[in-house]
Structure 1
Amino acid sequence: MTQALDCIITGGTVVLPDRTEKLDIGIRDGIIVEIAPSLKERPSSRLIQADGLHILAGVVDIHVHFNEPGLDAWEGFATGSAALAAGGITTYVDMPLNGVPPTTNAERLMLKQQAADGNSHVDYALWGGLVEGNTAELEGLAQGGVPGFKAFMSEPGGDGEEIFTRADDQTLLDGMKELARLGYVLALHAEDEQIVSELAAQAQAEGRTGELDYAHSRPIAAEVKAVQHALHLARKTGCALHFVHISSREAVDVITATKAEGMNVTVETCPHYLVLNEQDLVDKGVVAKCAPPLRSADEQAQLWQAVELGLIDMIASDHSPCPPDMKQQANFFNVWGGISGAQSTLLLMLEEGFHRRGIALPKLMNMLSVAPAERLGLHYRKGRIAARYDADLVLVDLNRGAVLEQEHLLDKHRQSPYIGYDFSSTVVETLVRGQSVYREQDGLIPEKIGQFVAYQPGGVTYG
């Protein structure tokens, strides 16, 4: 007797890593168990009609900043994950720096996990941090289930005693040696601190404190110099590297050249570098401040070319919110930097990549789902539509869209630079391990079913 399925999704066009095809998906116990041309005749508890829709693997966003524990006025797991669910993101990896205390040892990792437990609408993993003086703590963080580690080559900002700090050269060298021994990847915010701090000080001393003054104080040269230096240290140590939020084609080309040498290195960019540019920084102001800053339209075009050529490994949101009063400063250098846009990541890439530039859906989803999961070892269960994978799925209508209004946003502060953007596509439903967490007609499902995805070499566990 054929075993019944919990859910069948029928009639939709499934986006697989290598093709799109009209297929049915059978789910049991939260896992994809069958993919076939027709499963409608099979017994099941639930049938989802997906006629006219595309079914995508849930986005794996490996770069978000939720600010718990300790920062109640900032974005937290409940509101942040709600926005992700509405945007088709089914797994995220939270950065270690924003929280009091930051995630720099096993005890602090536990505090972060406790803050997220029962408060996330979608599944999550947690980055560990590399800062001065914590090299001996890295193994404990690894044992606690982090899939990778993050360090800053420029000052991350923040006030107080317990803040995330820049990793100096000795910290980077020692940390890379230890992570190479442990077999983990180090993610880097790559901007040269000397260049950016000197240019920022000079601009402010001369009274130049506007949007473009800030942007020009963090030039592409600072990004490229930091990337080159990090690669030099990686050659010495054998440490795997991942460069976050790369904003320039020049830096991408430097990283691409090292891949040809056989180095274990990947590159990420973000939607804001592909959708917004320096003129948007001037027009939109504080909601568009980030580091590295938005670049010129010409630089943006070259970054898109890198995407089309397959030189960008993955796209992540770098969702980095803050309380609104931290965006209210006359001096643009003093405005808290960070773009809040994770709810729009998938729709932006469908709009700008698929609709506008004709990039194939499998290629886009490889950057949004497959590659991020693989880079952090979450690919045992996450990142693709295939048998034995979690039924993390997004149903999208590519032919019906809407203008994004502030009231559509589910993150805590609703400060998106994409308000007013006219999308051609709509997220119809998001499922995590076969359970609906968001439906267009119903909105967010109240139950928070997200689980901690703990990585250990060779697999993942849930807790």
Structure 2
Amino acid sequence: MTHAATRILRSRRVCTPTGEHPADVVLAGDRIADVLPHRTAAGAPVEDLGELALLPGLVDTHVHINEPGRTAWEGFTSATRAAAAGGVTTLIDMPLNSIPATVTVDALRVKQDVARGRVYVDVGFWGGAIPGNTGDLEPLYRAGVYGFKSFLAPSGVDEFPHLDAAELAEALTEQARLGALAIIHAEAPRILDAAPRVPGRAYADYLASRPDAAETVAVGQLLDTARRTGARVHVLHVSSAQVLPLLDAARANGIAVTAETCPHYLTLVAEAVPVGDTAFKCCPPIRSEDNRDRLWRGIEAGSFAAVVSDHSPCTADLKRLDSGDFAAAWGGIASLQLGLPTVWTEARARGIGLAEVVALMSSGPAELVGLARKGTIAPGYDADLVAFDPDAVFTVDPAGLHHRNPVTPYAGRALTGVVRTTWLAGAPVDVYGSPRGRLLDRTKTTA
């Protein structure tokens, strides 16, 4: 160890890059100094976690915080409290649905000014690529955003329009030149426009309005454009398992493409959505049980780089819970605090281990965006850690969640796995104390 140990975290279940092992994790200030055999470390106070699992802090690269402009939907303080309570120690904020959208350097500075001193975990920022802002991409990238979000279909907010085919090619050409990661909401407008739109409380009607083909057609277009431009692309929130063969074939042909999926697609199914329960509405939609099973087969086959929340909250009135009209309700699920237990509950039932979940929710997202010191328990990494009880069972109570509006499709659901302590930079996070999170900049190794 090059620095004096300040704390030792001991557990019989430490999730490291080589799997789950008994170990002593030695902290020196805000870093991990060493990982030693169980019960061998000395020279600093020891916290023995026993059978509690010690995980690297989760890295959630898909979070809509919405502040400024739509702070009533979510804000930096409430979102990062929820993150810390759920074991998320680093998140990357999406460029919408805040006002202004993060599509210029000035807009990025506005968002950073609002967030500074108010975050309980470390926070970085995506930029946005929209029609007409190609000239802003290089300045934004130099200002430290982690890449650029685009939509291929309407985003749901007027200030963040989607790209048509020519605009996508222009944006990806510039991002290829910069070496930036392009992250894409891939649904095809022509498929959505042709699909039936039936207002009302039947989830099957909403599901029919966003068929699998909306994703497969858009992903096909994206992959063709990536091939022509040489851009590195990442497909956001894959809900349709029909996308997976397209991604596998593209990778086999040398296209630089990765993909993510989300806890709600891995845990919820269309057949079980209650009539009129618009808390379940998201875009793209929760699909069938068979589709969910095929997504899990994709997980086991290594088709996904990450599992992230797509935390997209709004005020309760916009969810139209009173009318239960799926067509009118805002499409987004708030799950930042619940991602780990929801995924673990389902993974465990399928015989998938905790180390595999960590790879998808910590190290995978960190690697995706180039967070070189995040998401892994190893010497030199940030001491962002989670004590997790993988056997504890709890029932989701919306009143116990920290995100601003207590709306969740998991209400009343029994989940397995409880976060007991979250450490950020070597110290436990107190979500009612002073925020200690940092604002991250892609161009710097420290905040």
Q: TM-score by structure 1 length?
A: 0.93
Q: Tell me, in whole angstroms, the C-alpha distance in 2 between the residues paired with 1:203 and 1:128.
A: 32
Cα distance change, pair 43–257 in 1 and its aligned pair in 2 (3 A)? same
Q: Tell me, in whole angstroms, the C-alpha distance in 2 between the residues paired with 1:365 and 1:274.
A: 15
Q: Tell me, in whole angstroms, the C-alpha distance in 1 between the residues paired with 2:301 and 2:27.
A: 35
Say whether 1:383 aligns with 2:375.
yes
Aligned with 2:244: secondary structure?
helix
Output aligned runs, 1:124-163, within 5 Å: 124-159=123-158, 163=159
Given that 2:181 and 2:234 are in contact with CA atoms closer than 8 Å, whether structure 1 keeps it comes out as: yes
Structure 1 residue 445, shift from structure 2 partner: 4.4
Name the % identity: 38
Output aligned runs, 1:113-124, within 5 Å: 113-124=112-123
Q: Hey, what does 2:437 align to over in structure 1? A: 450
Cα distance change, pair 176–41 in 1 and its aligned pair in 2 (3 A)? closer
Say whether 1:417 aligns with 2:409.
yes
Aligned with 1:226: secondary structure?
helix
Cα distance change, pair 38–359 in 1 and its aligned pair in 2 (3 A)? closer
Q: Tell me, in whole angstroms, the C-alpha distance in 2 between the residues paired with 1:310 and 1:283.
A: 35
Q: Hey, what does 1:271 align to over in structure 2? A: 263
Output aligned runs, 1:323-338, within 5 Å: 323-328=315-320, 329=323, 331-338=325-332
Q: Tell me, in whole angstroms, the C-alpha distance in 2 between the residues paired with 1:20 and 1:405.
A: 31
1:94-128 alpha-carbon deviations (Å, 9 max, x no partner): 10011110000111011111111111110011000
Output aligned runs, 1:219-230, within 5 Å: 219-230=211-222
Output aligned runs, 1:162-311, within 5 Å: 163-199=159-195, 202-204=196-198, 210-283=202-275, 285-311=277-303
CA RMSD of aligned residues (A): 1.7
1:339-381 alpha-carbon deviations (Å, 9 max, x no partner): 011111011111111x201112222211111111111111x11
Q: Tell me, in whole angstroms, the C-alpha distance in 2 between the residues paired with 1:95 and 1:356.
A: 32
Say whether 1:13 aligns with 2:13.
yes
Given that 2:112 and 2:439 are in contact with CA atoms closer than 8 Å, whether structure 1 keeps it comes out as: yes
Q: Tell me, in whole angstroms, the C-alpha distance in 1 between the residues paired with 2:194 and 2:300.
A: 35
Paired letter, 2:379: A
Structure 1 residue 283, shift from structure 2 partner: 4.5
Q: Which runs of 5+ in 2 are unaligned?
A: none
1:24-79 alpha-carbon deviations (Å, 9 max, x no partner): 111112000111125666332x4322111111111100001001112231101100
Given that 1:135 and 1:171 are in contact with CA atoms closer than 8 Å, whether structure 2 keeps it comes out as: no
Given that 1:6 and 1:28 are in contact with CA atoms closer than 8 Å, whether structure 2 keeps it comes out as: yes
Given that 1:127 and 1:150 are in contact with CA atoms closer than 8 Å, whether structure 2 keeps it comes out as: yes
Q: Hey, what does 2:304 align to over in structure 1? A: 312
Cα distance change, pair 178–406 in 1 and its aligned pair in 2 (3 A)? same
Structure 1 residue 158, shift from structure 2 partner: 2.4
Q: Tell me, in whole angstroms, the C-alpha distance in 1 between the residues paired with 2:271 and 2:2.
A: 60
Q: Hey, what does 1:340 align to over in structure 2? A: 334
Paired letter, 2:101: P
Q: Tell me, in whole angstroms, the C-alpha distance in 2 between the residues paired with 1:418 and 1:246.
A: 20
Given that 2:216 and 2:243 are in contact with CA atoms closer than 8 Å, whether structure 1 keeps it comes out as: yes
Cα distance change, pair 307–38 in 1 and its aligned pair in 2 (3 A)? closer
Given that 1:130 and 1:138 are in contact with CA atoms closer than 8 Å, whether structure 2 keeps it comes out as: yes
Structure 1 residue 399, shift from structure 2 partner: 2.1
Given that 1:268 and 1:315 are in contact with CA atoms closer than 8 Å, whether structure 2 keeps it comes out as: yes
Q: Hey, what does 2:36 align to over in structure 1? A: 36
Structure 1 residue 432, shift from structure 2 partner: 1.0
Given that 2:197 and 2:327 are in contact with CA atoms closer than 8 Å, whether structure 1 keeps it comes out as: no
Q: Tell me, in whole angstroms, the C-alpha distance in 2 between the residues paired with 1:426 and 1:279.
A: 27
Given that 2:131 and 2:167 are in contact with CA atoms closer than 8 Å, whether structure 1 keeps it comes out as: yes
Given that 1:203 and 1:209 are in contact with CA atoms closer than 8 Å, whether structure 2 keeps it comes out as: no
Q: Tell me, in whole angstroms, the C-alpha distance in 1 between the residues paired with 2:272 and 2:68.
A: 33
Q: Hey, what does 1:461 align to over in structure 2? A: 446
Cα distance change, pair 50–174 in 1 and its aligned pair in 2 (3 A)? same
Q: Tell me, in whole angstroms, the C-alpha distance in 2 between the residues paired with 1:33 and 1:176.
A: 40
Structure 1 residue 211, shift from structure 2 partner: 2.5
Paired letter, 2:421: E
Aligned with 2:61: secondary structure?
strand
Aligned with 2:442: secondary structure?
strand
Q: Tell me, in whole angstroms, the C-alpha distance in 2 between the residues paired with 1:223 and 1:11.
A: 43
Name which of structure 1's ranges 403-412 and 220-229 shifts more when overlaid on structure 2. 403-412
Q: Tell me, in whole angstroms, the C-alpha distance in 2 between the residues paired with 1:140 and 1:389.
A: 29
Aligned with 1:81: secondary structure?
helix
Number of aligned residues = 445
Given that 1:186 and 1:242 are in contact with CA atoms closer than 8 Å, whether structure 2 keeps it comes out as: yes
1:187-240 alpha-carbon deviations (Å, 9 max, x no partner): 0000001111232xx434xx6674221211110011000000000000110000
